[in-house]
Amino acid sequence: MDRCKEISIRREVLLEGYAGILVRFLDYFEKEHINPETAVGDSNVFLFLQAVEICQNLIHMDSMEELLAAEGQFRLLRRTANRLNGYPVDAPV
């Protein structure tokens, strides 16, 4: 597989994964009656906004190094989103 195709596939998989993380955070906010637009000081809202920013930036990532960094952040954010919702920390999103 050539490098461009591999990067494209990794980007697509990460976009799907980040979508799952965002949903998990939003489920938690709904359950706890947290408005992410007004709860600016909440650390979980901060992590949610980090996930949103990474998701938005994924489209423009064109190097393997950038994608590997986004994958590392994905693992951390997935663990947090899963923990907040009572899922095993390594459960797929």
36 located within any domain: yes
For residue 3, name the pLDDT band (cuts at 50, 70, 90). confident
pLDDT in tens, 30-40: 999 999 999 98
Which domain range does residue 80 map to?
3-84
90 located within any domain: no
Q: How far apart (Å, rounded) are the C-alpha atoms in residues 78 and 51?
A: 10
45 located within any domain: yes
pLDDT in tens, 25-62: 999 999 999 999 999 889 999 999 999 999 999 999 99
Alpha-helical regions (H) of 33-91 = 43-58, 64-84
For residue 79, name the pLDDT band (cuts at 50, 70, 90). very high
CATH number for position 7? 1.10.8.130
Q: How far apart (Å, rounded) are the C-alpha atoms in residues 84 and 6?
A: 32
Domain count across the chain = 1
89 located within any domain: no
91 located within any domain: no
